[in-house]
Structure 1
Amino acid sequence: MLDRMTAFFQRMGQMAGRGVGLLIAWLVWPFMAAHGWYRGRHWMVKGPVLALLVLFAGLYGYFLWQTQVWKDFDPNYVDRYRWSERVVPAGQELPAIAPASANATIAAPQTTQASQAPAAKQCQSSAIVDVAADLTDMNVNQNAWISSMLLYRLGLFGMDWDSTPFLDNKASFQRGVNQAVRRTSVELVDTLARMRGTSGINNNLQIARSNLQFDEYSWYFGLSPFGPKTPTPSYYRSAINNLRTFNTELTACGAVFDSRADNLVQFIDRIANDLGGTSAILKERSENFNGGWFDTRADDRFWFAYGQLYGYYGILAAAGADFSQVIRERNLGPLWMETLAQLKSALRIQPAIISNGREDGWIMPTHLAVMGFYILRVRSNLVEVRAVLDR
């Protein structure tokens, strides 16, 4: 009996060894055949082929580096801003600077007429606009915009990178962040930067919104339509400039930011609806594709949702500064801080490998369901904030 079991395992080992050997031979054969062909060619053929191989090696090395190194990624990035030091909501005039002391006046009685002129008034800039510009800057200036890179467009042997478990996490994260910024840019144009919806649309915000809505996958050349194109990052960089220009205008009291309660209600509604759509996507994938670690689309779903929460964490924290008077008057402080705490907790989930296991499974975790849970918690808090504002 023992001999038969030993012989069985020996045969299994031999079969596994032959299988591995055949797999390696199948993988190596094209390179060996290419090497044989290359060795017998003239140098006039070898030179261009070698240059082409070096070019592709460089492109793939750069692509690999850009997809794996996440510059300026910091789930606690909100702490960099010092919004607690703001004294007035966005768009309102800042207190005048205190005049010089009497002693200074006595020491310098000879003042010019220009120095006695009143200082130009200044208004509070928008924290929401600052965050939208900074998040876009992180996507396209601090990092390469992965979704429009040539090798990302070409895919893995023609297969979309999102359909593989490789090199697509950063691209999905960037698109999630961009989704939050896009939604915010629409609300800035339609409601937040207009006086009760009757004033004219700010031109800089209008251009920024149009640029941020641009296709996320455009490279320098395209097939539909055929011909050269302006790549996606160029549009997003223009949007950054327009957002910052708007804040410069707002600081000089030359633009409008209407920090009323009903505007905050509508803004929260839009964010809650956006998160609800992402929750539905996670639910559909989690329920219908329980592939565990072998679900090749689970990672891009997860990192898109993560990027969206990453963006909304900063935007909602900024909204707390821009609408500080409304939040204070409605006693929303604790509930608002709880919403931000839920967002911050969600950003702590950073698994090395995304698994889409069954919810009642015990071997493979279900990261999509966990992320969906946090999204629903945040959305529930936003609905409660809205209810308080409506009272």
Structure 2
Amino acid sequence: MLDPIVAFFQRIFAAIGRGIGLVIAWILWPFITVANWYRARSWIIKGPIGIGLLVLFGLYAYFIWQTQMWTGFDPDYANRYNLAQRKQETASTDTATTTTTTTPATGEVVEPEPKTCVRSAIVDVTADLINFNVNQNAWISSMLLYKLGLFGLDWDSTPWFDNKASFQRGVNQAIRRTSVELVDSLGRVRGTSGINADLQRARGNIQFDEETWYFGSDSLLPKTPTPNYYRTAMVDLRKFNTSLESCDAIFDSRSDNLIEFLDRIANDIGSTSAIIRERSEFHNGGWFDTRADDRFWFAYGQLYGYYGILSAAGVDFDAVIKARGIEPLWVETIKQLRSALNIQPAIISNGREDGWIMPTHLATMGFYILRVRSNLVEMRDVLAR
């Protein structure tokens, strides 16, 4: 009585097995055909092809290793700078250049004079972030195999090998924004002094595009790859800090510069928040959204960069922060930035916000970004009063 039922399921499983076999045969057919052709050739042909395949295999092994290994990645990296101790050392320097006071007669805040003879923590962190991006790690976006993609398909459009590249670009966005502010306001006195040459060169080099390799389709001549420009920017930033420490440069830590700095950062992460919102709202494909990981890791890298930079700004603008009474809010903002870095899912899911099967990592990241931005705007408003 059960024989027809058993036979029915046997036929089904046999059909499934034949189908899987046909799919595997279809996938392996080009490779088998090429292998048979290769075996029939002479060593004059086999040799160069074999060497080329070995080189290609080595390049892919290196590419996969570099995209999966994140050397130096540390969500608590700001702790390495001993910022609390640096605040004390900065406070113990010449009070004429580092102290903000309040006049007893009017209650008005007297701004500090521009800092000299002491290193800028912001510049130190920014230079180290560049070092992290291009020296401790390979710069993925300009690697040849990353540019070639998967059979011509951009890696950003696939679920593989693009997370680190997006993260690095996010960190680089924070570096770029900071380098602009260093040139335009922080490294000069209210626009009345000349632009520092080291900072100017650093800004120009860090603004260079993120995808240049040694050769490109637009020119037959060799090019300087992107990482070399960024390394030069790192050297220039460190030269500026050396000049600052030897009293040959200035860092203007006035409240109006801090207001502008916070405003630009708030606008920067606000733009990222809008990108995340658009992706989360209109492309919620759960684990099958192949672009969700790009958006997530770019935002993560941006917050990673600003976590260190704003922690360092707490040292450079310590006098203003304390005089204006925003220290508790500043500490809370740093804590929120650090909390955002705890989100490290193995697979990024862009599920519906009211869904119950697939999580919505993009919406979670967007929530942290908006929290940080809200605090930045609040601090800016307090400073502007």
Q: TM-score, normalised by structure 1?
A: 0.90
* Cα separation, partners in 2 of 1:58 and 1:329, compared to 1, 3 Å: same
Aligned counterparts of 2:7 and 2:373: Cα–Cα separation in 1 = 61
Q: Quote how far apart the aligned CAs of 1:4 are.
A: 6.5
Per the alignment, residue 32 of structure 1 pairs with: 32
Residue identity matched to 2:188: R
Name the structure 2 match of 1:111. Answer: none
User: 1:90, 1:259 within 8 Å by CA — same for their partners in 2?
Assistant: no
Counterpart position of 2:211: 217
Q: 1:329 to 1:122 in 2, by over 3 A?
A: closer
1:120-160 per-residue CA deviation (whole Å, 9 max, x = no partner) reads x9711100000110000000000000000000010000000
In 1, distance between residues paired with 2:331 and 2:262? 15
Partner of 2:155: 161
User: Counterpart amino acid of 2:210?
Assistant: E
Match of 1:185 in 2: 179
Aligned residue in 2 for 1:377: 371
Structure-1 separation of matches of 2:89 and 2:192: 21
**Preserved CA contact (<8 Å) 1:180 1:311:** yes
Whichever residue aligns with residue 320 of structure 1, its letter is G
Secondary structure in 2 matching 1:53: helix
The structural deviation recorded for 1:336 is 0.4
Q: State the secondary structure of the residue aligned to 1:70.
A: coil
Contact 2:139 2:227 in 1 (8 A): yes
Q: How does 1:50-199 map to 2 (within 5 A)?
A: 50-87=50-87, 94=94, 123-199=117-193
SS of residue in 1 equivalent to 2:70: coil
Q: Give yes or no for contact 1:88–1:325 (8 Å, CA) kept in 2.
A: no
Which digits, 9 at most, give the CA deviation of each residue in 1:279-330, with x for residues without a partner? 0000011111111101110111100000000000000000000000001101
Q: For the Cα contact (< 8 Å) 1:279–1:372, is it kept in 2?
A: yes
- Count of residues paired in the alignment: 367
Query: Alpha-carbon deviation of 1:14?
Result: 2.8
Match in the other structure for 2:112: none
Q: Is the 8 A contact 1:194 1:256 kept in 2?
A: yes
Unpaired runs of 5+ residues, structure 1, are 97-120
Structure 2 vs 1, CA of residues 8 and 383 (structure 1 numbering), >3 Å: closer, same or farther? Answer: farther
Match of 1:236 in 2: 230
Paired letter, 1:168? D
Instruction: Give me the whole-angstrom Cα distance separating, in 2, the residues matched to 1:330 and 1:323.
Output: 11
Instruction: Give per-residue Cα distances to partners, 1:53-111, cap 9 Å, x unaligned.
Output: 10000000000000000000000001101121124797995589xxxxxxxxxxxxxxx
Aligned-partner Cα distance in 1 for 2:197–2:8: 77
Task: Pick closer, same or farther for the CA change 1:90–1:228 going to 2, 3 Å.
Answer: farther
Structure 1 residue 2: Cα displacement: 6.8
> Which moves more between the two structures, 203-212 or 10-19?
10-19
What CA distance in whole angstroms lies between the structure 1 residues aligned with 2:169 and 2:293? Answer: 13
SS of residue in 2 equivalent to 1:38: helix
> CA offsets per residue over residues 154-197 of structure 1, 9 Å max, x none?
00000000000000000000000000000000000001111011
- Is 1:324 the counterpart of 2:285? The answer is no
Give the match for residue 269 of structure 2: 275
C-alpha contact 2:116 2:250 (8 A) present in aligned 1: no
Residues 5, 352 of structure 1: alpha-carbon distance in 2 compared, 3 angstrom cutoff:
farther
SS where residue 216 of structure 2 aligns?
Answer: strand
Q: The residue matched to 2:351 in structure 1 has which SS?
A: coil
Q: Is the 8 A contact 1:90 1:257 kept in 2?
A: no
Range moving further from structure 2, 149-158 or 77-86: 77-86
Instruction: Kindly indicate whether residue 354 of structure 2 is the aligned counterpart of residue 357 of structure 1.
Output: no
Corresponding residue number in structure 2 for 1:42: 42
Name the structure 2 match of 1:108. none
Q: Distance in 2 between matches of 1:122 and 1:259?
A: 10
Q: CA deviation at 1:261?
A: 0.4
How far apart are residue 369 of structure 1 and its match?
A: 0.5
Deviation of 1:332 after TM superposition, in Å, equals: 1.2
What amino acid is the match of 2:199?
Answer: L
TM-score (norm 2): 0.91
> Is 1:339 paired with 2:333?
yes
Contact 1:90 1:323 in 2 (8 A): no
- CA pair 377-344 structure 1, distance change in 2 beyond 3 A: same
Which amino acid is the alignment partner of residue 379 of structure 2? V
Tell me if structure 2 keeps the 8 A contact 1:123–1:252: yes
Whole-Å Cα distance in 2 between the matches of residues 266 and 341 of structure 1? Answer: 22
Structure 2 vs 1, CA of residues 87 and 274 (structure 1 numbering), >3 Å: closer, same or farther? closer
Where does residue 295 of structure 1 map in the other structure? Answer: 289
Give the aligned partner of residue 115 of structure 1.
Answer: none
**For the structure 1 residues 205 and 4, does the alpha-carbon distance in structure 2 shift closer, same or farther, using more than 3 Å as the test?**
farther
User: Which residue of structure 1 aligns with residue 381 of structure 2?
Assistant: 387
Q: What is the Cα-based RMSD across aligned positions, in Å?
A: 2.0
Aligned residues with identical type, % of pairs: 68
**8 Å CA contact retained: 1:335, 1:385:** yes
Alpha-carbon distance between aligned partners in 1 of 2:330 and 2:26, rounded to the nearest angstrom: 59
Post-superposition offset of 1:16: 2.5
Q: Deviations over 1:12-65 (max 9, x none)?
A: 433332222122112211111111101111111110011011000000000000
